[in-house]
A and B are shown apart, each in its own frame.
Chain A
Amino acid sequence: MKYFATLAGRPRKVAVAVLAAALLLAGAAVPVYAQGPTPLPRGLAVVERILSRLYEREQAWLGLQTNHLARAAQAADKAQQLLDAAKEKGRDVTALEQALAAFRAGVAQAQAAHDQAASILGTHTGFDASGQVTDRQAARQTVVRARQSLAEAHRILLRAVRDLRRAVRDWRRSQRPQAPAASS
C-alpha cells in the first residue's frame, strides 16, 4: 500500500486499471456452482426425466383404468339383467349366477388394487406437486409400487372379463336346443 500511495499521476492510473482488471478476472473465475444449485450430471438428469415421465404415464393409466372399472360394473348390471330375464323364462341359470358372482369378486379385487395405486400416486412421495423429482430414490419407489398395483388391477380385471365372457357364451350354447341327429 505504501508503494501504491507513493505512485502519482499516470503510473498510479495504470496500477488502478491493472488491479481492477485482476479483480474482474477473479470474479469471472468463481465457479458457477457457488452461485446456484449444482447442475446434475447428465445421467442423473436423464433418470429424473424418465421418472417424471413414468409418473405422468401412470397417472394417465390410472384414469384409463378408472373408466375400465366403471364399464366392468356396467357389464355386471347387464349380466344381472340377462340372468333375471332367463330366470323368468324358467331357464337354468346356475352357471350364469356362479360366473357373475366370480366376476363381481374379481372386479372388487381389481378395484382394491386400483385404489392402492391411486393412493400411492396421490401421495407422490419423491415428487413435488407438479410431478418433478425431489428425491430420486423415493420417486423410483413411488413409480415402481404404483406400477405394481396398476398392473395387478389390470391383470385381475382382464381375467374377470374374459372368464365372464366365456361363461356367458358357454351358457348360451347350453341353452340352445340340440339339433336332432341326421339320419342316414
Chain B
Amino acid sequence: MKGRIWLLAALPVVLALTASCSRGRPAAPAAPNRPPASATVVGPDRSEALADDLDKALGELEGNLNGVDTIEDLEQALGGS
C-alpha cells in the first residue's frame, strides 16, 4: 500500500519532466541569406586603374631621377679642382 502511494505521488512529477523535455530548445534563427564569399573580384576597370597607377608612379620616379642635378654639379666641381 505504501509503495503505491509513492508511485502515485511520483507520477505527476515524471509526467511534468517528460513534457518539458519533449518541448526542446527553441530553434536558432535562420542565418541571413548572404551571398557566398567570392574570390578576388576583378572589376572591368581594375587593370586600367592599375595601369594608370603604375604609369603615374613611373612618371613621378622618372621626373625625380631627371631632377637629380648632382652629376653635372659634381663633374664641374671635379673639373675645377
Contact = CB atoms under 8 A, between A and B. Distances in A.
A173 to B, nearest CB: 11
Interface of B: 40, 42, 46-47, 50-51, 53-55, 57-62, 64-66, 68, 70-71, 73-75, 77-78, 80-81
Interface residues of A, number: 41
A54 B77 CA distance: 8
B32 to A, nearest CB: 30
A158 B54 contact: no
Given A61-B70, A144-B78, A151-B71, A82 B54 contact: yes
B55 A169 contact: yes
A75 B62 CA distance: 11
Interface of A: 47, 50-51, 53-54, 57-58, 60-61, 64-65, 68, 71-72, 74-75, 78-79, 81-82, 85-86, 88-89, 91, 140, 143-144, 147, 150-151, 154, 157-158, 161-162, 164-165, 168-169, 172
Contacts of A54: 74, 77-78, 81
B55 A168 contact: yes
Contacts of A60: 70
A162 B42 CA distance: 28
